[in-house]
Structure formats: C-alpha cells, structure tokens
Amino acid sequence: MNQQNVRSDDFELRSVHLHDLSDEQLKARFWELTEQTVKPLVDLARTHTTPSIERSVLLRMGFSSIEAKTIVEKVIDHQLMGKGAGNVVFIRAKLDNINIRTAGLKLIAEDGWDRVIAHFGGKS
C-alpha cells in the first residue's frame, strides 16, 4: 500500500486573524497581499527585457520578423537595449517627424543612429 502524507486541516487556526474583518477589509487585504507578491515581477519587467520581447514589440508595430530581428540586433550593437527597441524606433520617427515604419527602415539602413544615441544621452 502506498501511504500519502495528509496535511492536517489547520485552516481555522491559521485564519483566526481574519475572522473580525468585513468583506471590504478582506478584499483590501487580498489586494495588498497580491501587490506584495507581484511587485518584484513588475519591477523586474520594468528594468529587464530580452531580444524576444523586443522583436515581439516590433512585430506589433508593423515590422516583419526579419526586419524586427535586424532592428533588435542593431539596437543591441548600439547598446540601447535598455531603452527598448520599439522606443528607439519611436524616438527615431519623432526626431525626423516621419512614420514608425520609415524610421525603422532607416535604422536598418544605419541612418540616424547618431541622433538617436545623442537623444538618449550618448555620444553622437
């Protein structure tokens, strides 16, 4: 016979501190604990990215997978990955008042990187 470990039911003991809370207070406590749990993940997402994520962003901006791959490689080469590839393309478009697609294609052709780098505080 295979004997399973059975956890003793101690819910009543562990939940004593919740008995006097109203539904609204329980709901507030739930969201407080949820925020504490998720905050490290949100902070990590704000400060870290991957080439895969950046390609995905560019695909949603209308670039083909080959174009997105090339843009991400060039963003990495120019040490701007922390700024986000989509943001780099957006800034390039804004600097010349051109559309996003044209800006991305210009970056693929190595056109305008000096100004984008200068915009982010690097050397032009």
Q: Give residue 11's region: left, alpha or beta (phi > 0; psi -120 to 50).
A: alpha
Distance from C-alpha of 67 to C-alpha of 47, rounded to nearest angstrom = 24
- Our separate counts of H helices and E strands in the chain read 7, 0
| Averaged pLDDT of the chain | 91
Q: pLDDT band for position 1 (50/70/90)?
A: low
Percent of the chain with pLDDT over 90: 70
Q: For residue range 42-92, what is the model confidence (pLDDT) as tens digits?
A: 888 777 889 999 999 999 999 999 999 999 999 999 999 989 999 999 999
The pLDDT score that the predictor gives to residue 3 is: 65
- The topology (CATH level 3) of 51-119 is Helicase, Ruva Protein; domain 3 (1.10.8)
* Structure tokens given for 1: 């016979």
Q: For position 49, what pLDDT does the model report?
A: 87
The stretch 89-109 carries a mean pLDDT of 98
pLDDT greater than 60 at residue 124: no
pLDDT of residue 23 exceeding 50: yes
